[in-house]
Structure 1
């Protein structure tokens, strides 16, 4: 049975439980069990490494609360020890009244290093509870998870893909996939062209399930054979930073990063927009910013006070935050709704003016409608800018799939392949063009208008225009007469 089949089997089992209702619940509950099995295998691997190197390793969890003691205790021949195994009410009582309180307490250890694994575990379980009502159901789940081996690199690789699928299903079912889950084809394309390098800090202030941070890690991990120990440690502990407002997304994002192999992600729960951007200093800035912030929301006046250009539109506030938190020489790629480009009221115009004059907004990727279905059909764009002086011109690329995107026909890597290939050269094609800075500052409308599709206006003489109007009027009059005669006959 493949890992995917095992996860599907767990989903079927959880659907029968009285405490579980929908994809959000069974993903959340599968996640914490998966995580504790992963943690046990991780600790076992660290212990083996310590023995080989002659060093000591102090496990994060005490013996009583490790997987091999409470979840699936074994006999000397490796079989499940039926004399020790818990099930039914005994299992539920232990998990609810002993295991979870023990794990939640890690977040309150004042002496713990915020970057330590112990602290991260506390952060995860602080917002989790066991929702599986039946101990017999939980027993079935534990027995399946116990067959997984997270010390196997192949199984870890497969797990990372399966877990991404769980997160996507949860986002779709929750009705907020756009906030929670950005299509991975979009993320991969953005990360490929931004090309993060070892030693750079990477930030997402609206992290969701941490897709951008995970993909950036995968990009860096591909270079692991060329990295020294210090560089790899920096990637593990001091590269990835993020904030997430909702507790569920925070938990899923933290687990997603750890299950992909980031041992100490710097993910924090909180509303990014409560920070006064006037207080941000160079030490608070990042080399790379990758984000798909929530759009369409409204923020209270109290939050708006934290920004020089006030607006209740969350997308405009986030854009100001990202501009302020980007290091000199840094690179950013931010997903924004179409409205940010074409709206020219006071706040939108001011933010775009600052972006064009103080940052190099060199590329705008126009994504097709339907990228974020079923969450939203709103058309979106990706702004690529650097803190390296003002804008000279902007290269546009219009992603235009042959078929309309739907929930069951999502955007793929193939749809964005040409964009990735042309990004460095900024070549002009039927789908790409360049607009000079001077044209963009006429009214600060940055919306993508492909010149290859613009038809030359036909300039007619006034008399010809009148003839066309009279001809159309006669057609309309004739249609109205036909409709009237049909009504009279009835």
Structure 2
């Protein structure tokens, strides 16, 4: 069901003037999926509150809830085409009313770890690129037909979403920013072997593949209590991402894997001075694939003891600093790091050998 739905959405976006690449297709599918997910989450919370005899306050005002603007229904549960907007009316509602309202949550939220703040962040960073309101209506109706309330449905949808990310990675010039091969991620997670109660961090989060895989790994551990599951939801996974699209995709990917309010911050990790990282900020586990080949400005390099324009080498210093004593890291880095003779590479190798307990260097074909 999901696979055909995604294919149909891509076909519609392909003929729309506003979307021209696999990156656009994933971005536009993501914001609509997020709002559909949010509606399902709110319905579940409202039902839970009703069973417990307490009132529930919806996050979104009535006019902006999925069931009002996207999928109004008749008494028998079918789409009410008399009430459902389409064409210019729908496009204008989304662009002029919906997105400004949703982006305002960033300002109104009580804290950055709330789902309200995430709503504001996402809709501040992306825009609706679907130019035809008729195309948008078609896509909305396909997404409305998707169900991801059960764990099985979420599991299937998360796999397909990852397949979309992989396609996007293959299509884009900077595809590596979004996608690390899943067998590699799985192997690294198994070797690093995170435990429930540990803080796990990725400062170059991309599409959150490492954090999602670590969540799946920990969720499968035997004997987990309700408290353990709450720890995994709220106090385990942390990430940072500079790029807007990757940030949105990371949030959506984690949500589809079952983390309701991901602790992902939209920021440039390398803009933080290494000396400002305090013991309270440190983590037990780092899992990451920082971008290769990037070049950082001089003012960013000033934040690091070993100065280099190579983005990945700055990230490596950041990750070492972020680890608690006895912490563990699995990091993907380009293999020229082992053979380069420039000062930064030599100094970094020395740092790894003298200050860290270097366990394994695995050379991949």
Per the shorter chain, which TM-score range? over 0.9
Offset at residue 325 of structure 1 (A): 0.6
Matches of 1:131 and 1:215, distance apart in 2: 31
| Structure 1 Cα separation of the partners of residues 235 and 122 of structure 2 | 19
Deviations 1:193-226 (A, max 9, x none): 2111111101111111111011111111213x62
- Of residues 173-182 and 89-98 in structure 1, the stretch that sits farther from structure 2 once superposed is 173-182
Return the offset for 1:141: 0.7
Q: Secondary structure at the match of 2:332?
A: strand
Q: TM-score, normalised by structure 1?
A: 0.73
1:115-171 CA-partner distances (Å, limit 9, x unpaired): 111111111111111111111111111111111112122211111011001111122
Q: CA deviation at 1:4?
A: 0.2
**Deviations, residues 280-328 of structure 1 (Å, cap 9, x unaligned):** 1111111000000112122222111111111122221111111111011
- Aligned with 2:171: secondary structure? helix
Whole-angstrom CA distance in 1 between matches of 2:298 and 2:140: 48
Task: Tell me, yes or no, if the aligned pair for 2:30 and 2:248 is still in contact at 8 Å.
Answer: no
Say whether 1:57 aligns with 2:56.
Answer: yes
Unpaired segments of 5 or more residues in structure 2? none
User: Deviation at 1:227?
Assistant: 2.5
CA distance in 1, matches of 2:54, 2:327: 40
Mapped contact 2:103–2:123 kept (Cα < 8 A): yes
Determine the structure 2 residue equivalent to 1:138.
136
Please state if 1:295 is matched with 2:292: yes
Match of 2:27 in 1: 28
Q: Distance in 2 between matches of 1:308 and 1:106?
A: 38
Contact 1:236 1:262 in 2 (8 A): yes
Tell me which residue corresponds to 1:44.
43
Q: Are the counterparts in 1 of residues 122 and 248 from structure 2 also a CA contact under 8 Å?
A: yes
CA offsets per residue over residues 308-356 of structure 1, 9 Å max, x none? 1111222211111111110111100111111111123322112211211
1:346 aligns with 343
Q: Which residue of structure 2 lines up, in the alignment, with residue 319 of structure 1?
A: 316
1:307 aligned partner = 304
Q: Which residue does 2:276 correspond to in 1?
A: 279
Unaligned runs of 5+ in 1: 369-490
Cα pair 1:210 1:257 within 8 Å, conserved: yes
**1:108 Cα deviation (Å)?**
1.3
Highest RCO, 1 vs 2 (Cα 8 Å, sep ≥ 6): 2
Distance in structure 1 (CA, Å) of the matches to 2:151 and 2:350: 49
Structure 2 counterpart of 1:364, from 358, 361, 365? 361
The aligned counterpart of 1:197 is 195
Aligned to 1:85: 84
Distance 2:182 2:2 in 1: 21
Note the 1:365-444 alignment, pairs <5 A.
Answer: 365-368=362-365
Asked whether the 8 Å contact 2:281–2:322 carries over to 1, the reply is yes
Matched, 1:108 2:100: no
Hey, what's the Cα distance between the residues in 2 that align with 1:82 and 1:296?
Answer: 51
Residue in 1 that maps onto 2:12: 13
Contact 2:71 2:144 in 1 (8 A): yes
The equivalent of 1:436 in structure 2 is none
Of 209, 233, 237 in structure 1, the residue corresponding to residue 234 of structure 2 is 237
- Between the aligned partners of 1:172 and 1:184, the Cα distance in structure 2 is 14
Query: Shift in Å at residue 56 of structure 1?
Result: 3.2
Aligned to 1:161: 159
Distance in 2 (CA, whole Å) between partners of 1:89 and 1:284 is 48
The aligned counterpart of 2:244 is: 247
| Bigger fraction of residues in helix | 2
Q: TM-score, normalised by structure 2?
A: 0.97
Distance in 2, matches of 1:95 and 1:301, equals 41
